A and B are shown apart, each in its own frame.
Chain A
């Protein structure tokens, strides 16, 4: 069996779920240094769906594609540790300031260049923006169908993929021909843990930029073991119209950003004593809020 060619779209994101008190600087801008960078949670759900296809169909290959700064290579290694076969880091200053549409254009052009895929799987949305736009926009750029809100890729047969979707108010099972884009919800199974053997195999996997900073003792490894080189692509590697990238290529602009400043409206502070609780319930009953 020949298996399938799967691309997993993943994003390294600041962990906005655990924002501490030092997340904002005094000038009201976001202190990115205070936020740990993580593998976007739903992209891990997506990776698990890809790995399950690989379990079922030997010969399947999984390529993790991410767009971001140099350090985003971390999540490609994370993908390799869990069972992906290789990765592409798409990184260029020209991408800075991209909105979802400019991002989708860059990813779409990369996939057109890379060419070889049957299924593209991504998380439904990233926790730093929660927009859920890049998956469908990439599908449109490639002119292929999309199945969003996926919970389970149930079957692949005769060139068609059967997907169970978990929607706000129900469930759908749909069948769609390949190639297609699938975006996966957090209700899908969690991603399996790292595999100890794969950590040993890939712990030195690096992009070209990372190799240049690496200890020279290891450099021979990259000649001996080509799988340790993580592809690093810039605009030079793909065909792009520079006007479609970055801030210039983004139809949406941020006009204003306001820090969230809370001003107390002068709440009554009460204790959990019996007297205070009794008084509170009396007050709410008397002013007809309850009762």
Chain B
């Protein structure tokens, strides 16, 4: 049975969060399909990286280690992944829906003529019957994602082409070590056989990467604002409440697009997925892309002027009214009750 493959993204010599999450998901899929989980790590000075990867249940780790492979550039990483996939013929290949995975994934899928589904929110194994051609397929990867402005949820399959490729955002899947002592094997690739000089035409002139300053993923309490907050100034109320409660401020895509807060705070299908114990949604209507990123919150308070807002249907508390009036009251009565 052909393997499940995960492309390992390396940031500053470390395995990226999203890759660990995908290894966890990949392991579950491989176990269900009774096949191996393999991974490919491409970068420079990767000695010892296997000890961070095998515990997720990886059976074979392929490593391409060369000075010219870090930082990431499109062409050499594409050439290595494409050649390796041509040799190994994985049935499933997963990548992070990061700026690396969304650059690499489509290029690889085009070279291999395999289908790629972007920003999946769920991956499950299932069967398919093509009635027109009278064909039956077993154990396909269902790639599930919201589409069309979040008005529909689509299940995408790749019946005939391999690998079945999908990208997933950081935070969507849960990261879990399978066995700290799990033993896999390592396969060091001869980089010169997988790349050619023309792959290195892009020169890196400057590069400034920073660790994400905002830690909304790990926050226990999130005060999130949407377009309905109305202005950058009104967002200050959210920051005040978050500070008082010991939480972080998040935002919907509409609020980020309107310039109310920075992109690092965006929650939803195209932002971060969060699971806090309390989520206070302020002026957020609750399109499915946003809900996909927060609906597993333990408790949800929805504050909205529209009593029919979709967010209300998943809320534990619905407050119909103006954010600018309600948030100061929450701050006031929180302080009054915790004295």
Contact = CB atoms under 8 A, between A and B. Distances in A.
A51 to B, nearest CB: 23
A118 B232 CA distance: 41
B316 A267 contact: yes
Interface string B66-91: 00000101110010000000000000
A256 interface: yes
A168 B98 contact: yes
A57 to B, nearest CB: 21
B257 interface: yes
Contacts of A265: 313-316
Contact of B150 (A101, A260, A263, A278): A260
Given A260-B288, A278-B336, A148 B206 contact: no
Contact of B221 (A168, A257, A290): A290
A259 B152 CA distance: 5
A220 interface: no
B151 A259 contact: yes
| Majority DSSP secondary structure for residues of A touching B | mixed
A104 B105 CA distance: 14
B201 A146 contact: no
Interface string A229-256: 0000000000000000000001111111
A115 interface: no
A60 interface: no
A291 interface: yes
A176 B302 contact: no
Interface stretch (A3-11, A16-24, A189-197): A16-24
Nearest to A160: B203
A177 B198 CA distance: 11
Contact of B111 (A140, A174, A270, A291): A140
18 contacts: A16-B148, A129-B147, A131-B119, A132-B106, A148-B99, A149-B103, A172-B208, A176-B203, A251-B114, A252-B158, A257-B154, A258-B153, A264-B313, A265-B315, A270-B318, A277-B332, A280-B319, A281-B333
Given A171-B208, A274-B329, 17 more contacts: A101-B115, A132-B118, A134-B106, A137-B109, A145-B75, A145-B202, A149-B103, A170-B208, A186-B257, A265-B314, A267-B318, A271-B319, A271-B320, A272-B319, A277-B333, A281-B330, A290-B334
